[in-house]
Amino acid sequence: MIVSACNNNKKPGDVTVVSEDGEQKTTMNLSDMEKRNEEMQKQAQDLQNLTPVSMDELKAMLPEELMGAKRARMQATTAAGTGMATAQYDVNDSTELRVSIWDCGGPGGAGMFSLQYMTLFNYEADSEDEYTKTIEFDGKRGIEQCSKVEKDCKLTYFGGKRFLVTLEGENIGIDELKQVSKQIAN
């Protein structure tokens, strides 16, 4: 009890929740969350007024080559008023990159933005095996999730003022994913 009372690196508004087994710790800042929530609500409103892009436009956003690997598989779908394009890049036998791009324009896309992106901000989780945290990089806000056991990471960010992008790397670190992000939906 004394150790936790003395270790007070919290900012005003910070709330920390520890799982019942004591392994996972989550920290959220409520005042930052309120301000960011207002900004994101306005952004969601603006997104509702946009016309969704076509599947062909989404597919064109997936580079032919990333990290020296040719695009191996590509798929584009639309459902519930939003479009998504995905591609896989097999860098080598043990390294794989998956890219997903959702169009958040229109009512369905704005709902996807709210559901998938807004809910994860000002969220931190940490366990023995992995961590998740909100980050800022290259002028973007994103969600970084990495395994502590293997070199597997996931980076989710909002790019091009309307696209939700997820980069998932198998045997790819977070710094490499941030480099790849410069080539997608800026």
Domain at 72, CATH number? 3.40.1000
DSSP H or E run through 101 = strand 95-103
Which secondary structure element, helix H or strand E, spans residue 35, and what is its range? helix 30-48
**Residue 19 covered by a domain:** yes
* Domain count within the chain: 1
What is the pTM assigned to this prediction?
0.76
How many angstroms separate the CA atoms of 66 and 99, rounded? Answer: 10
Residue at 3 is within a domain: no
pLDDT in tens, the chain (186 residues): 333 444 455 555 566 666 666 666 666 556 666 776 677 778 778 888 888 899 999 999 999 999 999 999 999 998 877 899 999 999 999 999 999 999 989 888 887 787 776 666 667 899 999 999 989 888 888 899 999 999 999 999 988 889 999 999 999 999 999 999 999 977
Task: Judge whether 2 lies within some domain.
Answer: no
- 99, part of any domain: yes
Q: Is residue 4 in a domain?
A: no
Residue 186 resides in a domain? no
Range of the domain at 88: 10-181
Residue 103 lies in a domain: yes
Q: Is residue 176 part of a domain?
A: yes
Assigned token pair, 60: 């064109």
pLDDT of residue 20: 67
